[in-house]
Amino acid sequence: MLRQPIRLARFVRPPVRVYAPAPSHILRRTFAEHHFPGNKAESLEHSEIFKISQAIQQDHSELEEYYHRIVNSKDPDEQTRFQNAFIWELARHSIAEELVVYPVLEQAIADGTERANKDRGEHQKVKEQLYEFQKLRPGDQNFLPTLEALYKDLKQHIKEEEEQDLVKLEDALGLTQSKELSQKFEKTKMFTPTRSHPSAPDKPPFETVVGLMTAPIDKIRDLFTKFPDMESTKPYGGKSP
């Protein structure tokens, strides 16, 4: 019997795929998610101690840094970038507190409901001021006065929250629960709106529903938003050189 000749399979070189670089606005947003507190939640899982008071105080420090970078700058581009960072952080921080921290505050301490409602009222005023500020641009007559009035109220809220509410909350929770709450707080910020929406509800479950509807719209806007670059600030609110 004659054997059929063996045909060697022809080697075909796989096509070389050329990947186009990501558009600049995608790179900006990728950096923003990495640079700002969006990825803190993952690092918290490996942290020995990161209490809810520390998580909130860290946000407060970042807001203070962004505020000073805006008011002390004469560069409109730098002011715009830190304005966006300030809005982005304050909007997420406020809603995450309302969704995660204040319900626990209500349950954990005797006058928790009274304190939480007071904090929500202060948040509402700040949200309304932030809504006006996010419509302004450097060079507008009311740009700095609006920010300064907002931050004056915010600073008073921060002082009372850090010196009173968080102290009582930490005493009531203990270290393990506090760390778990801080992780939940950081993860929640990843899904909250990144702009001020003062007409939205400020209590769950309605705030959660509205937030989930609004957040994707805000995040699309973020794709075209200028944020500070690596040379202007350090991750997690570190002071700039």
Residue 20 lies in a domain: no
Domain that holds residue 64: 49-233
Residue 61 lies in a domain: yes
What pLDDT does 229 receive?
77
Residue 207 lies in a domain: yes
pLDDT tens across 2-56, in order?
A: 455 545 444 444 444 433 333 444 334 433 444 444 444 445 454 555 899 999 9
Which parts of the chain have pLDDT scores under 70? 1-49, 200-213, 230-241
Residue 93 lies in a domain: yes
What pLDDT does 70 receive?
97
Residue 38 lies in a domain: no
Four-point Cα dihedral 163, 157, 33, 233, nearest 10: -80
SS3 16: coil
Residue 7 lies in a domain: no
Domain count, the chain: 1
Residue 134: other Cβ atoms inside 10 A: 17
Residue 211: other Cβ atoms inside 10 A: 22
- pTM (two decimals): 0.75
The angle subtended at Cα 169 by Cα 189 and Cα 55, nearest 5°, is 35
Residue 209 lies in a domain: yes
What pLDDT does 41 receive?
45
What pLDDT does 50 receive?
85
Residue 241 lies in a domain: no
